[in-house]
Chains A and B, each alone.
Chain A
Amino acid sequence: MSNAANPPGDASAPRSPSSSAAPHSSDVSHSPHSTAVHDDRGRLGMWLFVSTEILLFGGLFLLYSAYRWRHHADFHAASMLLDRVFGTTNTIVLITSSLFVVLSIHWLRERRLGLAKLFLGLTLLCGLTFLVIKGFEWGHKFESGLYPNAPHLLSLPFGEILYFGLYFSMTGLHAIHVIAGMTVFGFVFRGMSKGTVTAERPIFLENVGLFWHLVDIIWIFLFPLFYLIS
């Protein structure tokens, strides 16, 4: 069970007692046991990070819900100013990118490096599409005088000012996460090309994948709460 991270076809693993007793056995990449333990630790660390991210956005969602409770009519009116087509498209784009990541991990584990790189590239393309759509959306808002501290925005009812404050900070923080995920995926892609991210050691790709799915989950909540207030 402990070496479950290694595919059964991996016959190159030395199992001699001398290798485990050697003091200079810092190179763990040839020992399936050490690799598996290492992967568990790395995965646990990533899940801990994911947990802190959930609490970070959880605090913002709590703020959102408290203000929405107080200013429900204003929140509804302000959400009517958002474009549902943009929001829905971006939801589908992000869900699809999550599928591509998980397919990339699958094909890497199946030792089909070309397919793994193809799907990672498609993920990056989806992330870029998301940001471009987001950019157009924010651009439209800016043009119609809706940006933080804009004179027009400040003339609106108090609840609508709060709504747009939350909208820009929460979707902005989310967009920063998308950019961060794409950046690190770039390093994963390079690792695949250089042979440091492989079927034996897919943890880098898997962990960034976990982060990317988290970003997807956050958007799953952001989308209906900002775009679909009925």
Chain B
Amino acid sequence: MSDSANTSEADATRVDHGGQSSHGSPRFYVAIWAALVCLTALTVTAASWDLGWIAILVVLAIAATKSILVLLGFMHLWWEDKLVIQLLIPIVLVTLTIFIGLTYTDILYR
């Protein structure tokens, strides 16, 4: 137990681009988890601030940051070496942005 824990802690400091098998250490994952919990606390706290129309931007920015942490840290996109998979999420986001943009040009100027 202590042996494998030590080696995986050593892995945390190593920057590895070797492929799919390289991944974070338990300490790294717990750090991501702690960041996600802190951002959840922040978004709940921010809901009671009077920010006006900026509030929705704050909410979305925090949610986007949390998603990026999950995608890179938990879903291992940070270590992904296949270009196709690296590009998938950006392609999906661009598609969604086009949908949303076109819909809003309709809603706002109808």
Q: Say yes or no: A106 contacts B43, CB within 8 Å.
A: no
Find the residue from A1, A214, A217, A220 having the highest chain B CB count within 10 A.
Answer: A220
List 6 A-B residue pairs with CB atoms under 8 Å apart, sorted by A's residue number. A47-B85, A55-B96, A62-B99, A66-B104, A214-B75, A230-B51
- Bound CA span A48–B19, Å: 19
| A84 located at the interface, meaning its Cβ lies under 8 Å from any Cβ of chain B in the complex | yes
Q: Distance in Å from the Cβ of A78 to the closest Cβ of chain B?
A: 15
Tell me whether B75 and A213 are in contact (CB under 8 A): yes
Given contacts A1-B81, A51-B88, A224-B43, A109 and B21 within 8 Å (CB-CB): yes
* Further 16 A-B residue pairs, CB within 8 A, beyond A95-B37, A102-B24: A5-B19, A5-B20, A44-B85, A48-B88, A66-B103, A66-B104, A91-B40, A99-B29, A101-B74, A106-B23, A106-B24, A109-B21, A209-B75, A217-B67, A224-B63, A230-B51
Tell yes or no: A4 within 8 A of B by CB: yes
Q: In the complex, what's the smallest C-beta–C-beta distance from B86 to chain A, in angstroms?
A: 10
Bound state CA distance, A43 and B20, in angstroms? 10
Count chain B residues whose beta carbon lies closer than 8 angstroms to a beta carbon of A: 51
Cα separation A54 to B88 with both chains bound (whole Å): 11
Interface size on A, residues (CB 8 A): 53
Q: Interface 1/0s, chain A 95-110, versus B by CB < 8 A?
A: 1101101110110011
**Across the two chains, which residue of chain B brings its CB closest to A63?**
B103
Contact A213 B20 (CB under 8 A): no
Interface digits, B81-93 against A, CB 8 Å rule (1 contact, 0 not)? Answer: 1101100110110
Against B, the Cβ 8 Å flags (1 = close, 0 = not) of A147-191 are 000000000000000000000000000000000000000000000
Interface string of A186-222 (1 = CB under 8 A from B): 0000000000000000000000011001101100110
In the complex, per-residue mask of B51-64: 1 if CB is within 8 Å of any chain A CB, else 0: 10001000100110
Chain A residues within CB distance 8 Å of chain B: 1, 4-7, 36, 39-40, 43-44, 47-48, 50-51, 54-55, 58-59, 62, 65-66, 69-70, 84, 88, 91-92, 95-96, 98-99, 101-103, 105-106, 109-110, 112, 209-210, 213-214, 216-217, 220-221, 223-225, 228-230
> Shortest 6 CB-CB distances between A and B: which pairs?
A4-B19, A228-B47, A99-B33, A58-B96, A224-B59, A51-B92
CA distance A198 to B8 in the complex (A): 19
Contacts of B2 in A (CB 8 A): none
Distance in angstroms between the alpha carbons of A213 and B72 in the assembled complex: 11
A106 smallest CB distance to B (angstroms): 6
